[in-house]
Structure 1
Amino acid sequence: MNILIMGDSVGAHQIGKKNLEASGTSMTHLVQGMPYPNNHIAVTRTKGGSVAASYRTNGGMLSEELLRNGPLGVSAHHVLALKNYLFTHSNSSDIDVVILFIPAGWIGTETEIVNAVNLKSLAESVRMAGSIFGAETVILSTIPVSNNIFRLEKNLIPVNRLILRVAKQYREETFDNPGERLGRVKMVMALDLGKYTMHLVYANALSMGLVKHERNDYAITNVSIGVLDEILHSHVLTTTTHNGKEILRPMALQCKNLTKTNKSSDCPRNAIYVDGMHLCMKNVAGRIQAGIACLISCAYPQVPSYSLLEVSDCEQLCNEKYMSVAPLTV
């Protein structure tokens, strides 16, 4: 099974790289810095004879517009290099599973992110994953909490609900009606990374003493979401860029303790985020990789005959088990 993880520095470089490292074989950089510095493809051969790939495009989502936008989008040069490698090393030029991480940091403000991630753009991303890479399964990731989008109830939660709903509706509409498929894609699932990061940030806020410990399992509830939303806006750090622009960063995203000042330089870093956007992968990657593997097993069950309800239940169980901070049980 050939798998491609696609996104920006968080999705492709951090999460995608960890996926390649997990294969246990050496990594090869097919294309790096050509024609644009931030765009690159890395691949590795898996022990089972397939290929795992990571494709960083700062556009991340797939669309006709991004295909024409070289610095952000998909390059024909990159796609050809990947397909040639796939054909040589796996006897197939197609990707079986594409995992898309939305590049929130490159889209713009919170409002621009919410406006850009809509039903049309998500459907187009799914369709293009099939038409460009030959994918039959697409996994859409919800957007994580970060400096780029941290208004939970107003922006992040609604847009992530849309992503989850798109995956669910696609399965419902195409499971018994293959003619309704978006190109070659047969299955769409969702990895609820957004929920996982909310759990992590809430647990960190509890550890910092910003909120009282209401529950024994650190689980986030509808009530605590409102509390966390307020904390992210009332306890902030300030950073000044090289051009004098002031950036506000929620303290709970970056610090492990409360600071005496609101300067980012005075903040002792926590073990979740490197800078309020990029994740500390050595601490959080395990659950993300397990969640991805779990969803792939839902899409490709050992027993071929399965129902729509079983697939949806499987997706829910994967996200409940791995996209949280609850202790894992066998």
Structure 2
Amino acid sequence: MTTTGAPLLSAQGLQVTFPGRHGAPVARAVDGVDLDILAGEIVALVGESGCGKTTLARSLLGLVTPSAGRVSFAGRPLEYSSRALKAYRRRVQLVLQDPTGSLNPRHTVYDAVAEGLRIHGGTRDERAAVAEALTHAGLRPAERFFLRYPHELSGGQRQRVVIAGALVLEPELLVADEPVASLDASVRGEILALLLRLRAELGLSALVVTHDLGLAWNIADRVAVMYLGRIVETGEVEQVLTAPRHPYTRALLSVLPEAPGEPVVLAGEPPDPSRIPAGCRFHARCQVLADGSAERAGVADRCRGQDLEVLGGAGGRQVACHWAHARITA
């Protein structure tokens, strides 16, 4: 899907830090991120566990206050007063990965979906709004589910109830954090198809947070690959996933079942965000530095000692990698 115009949601120079305990260094969980999401666009935010993607998503929702930078929605900077955040969260809704944990086992489906309306108020007829949200989420006829409890539903149905609870407020953007991670493989495709249908029917935008590049391929217009608090590669999903430029993106793609060749085994674990290394933050685990490719390209010293600029958020194909830049300009 091609989208144009000003961003619906924008992060500019976003940083989120957490104080270390007992005098330990500050952890830079999000360390300078620019990211735009256009109206009607689905963006996948991809990376290993611990790379900062969930913290970034929470800061975009206003659940975490940035240490620096700003978040804008529809061209207006996000304000952090209780009243402003309440109004913002009508327009931007979170969908969590674990529907069982998201739903109160003592609440019926009706009460679970109606909760947002009761918190935020409004003039809509509650019963009609709940029925409409459940219908959009693929639970039909909606009235059949009103008096059911979460334990009476399948995992896929519970996730649809969670999505309906977000839709009942008529948001413009969904932030879905690993929305199918807890579901069986047979159900994942149904939920992804639902998100695509909601975009088509309601014009919803979405940020989908995932560790799975295969999921990004199936649902996203653009992909942003995150490592150690920064986005290291971004672009249209087909460009990035068919011709990845960053060694980290290549490594993530290599472990997909359909990927050709042997998987790339990354050395060690991601560094501690309180001890981000000098130079490219991926260099200690980088296969092209280890196999001599960066040396042959004349950039090995830069990889180890020269930081890379923060990628812009306005779209287009971008990569934060000395070796990739050398190959592009050669």
The TM tier, using the shorter chain, reads: 0.3 to 0.5
TM-score between both structures, scaled by the size of structure 1: 0.33
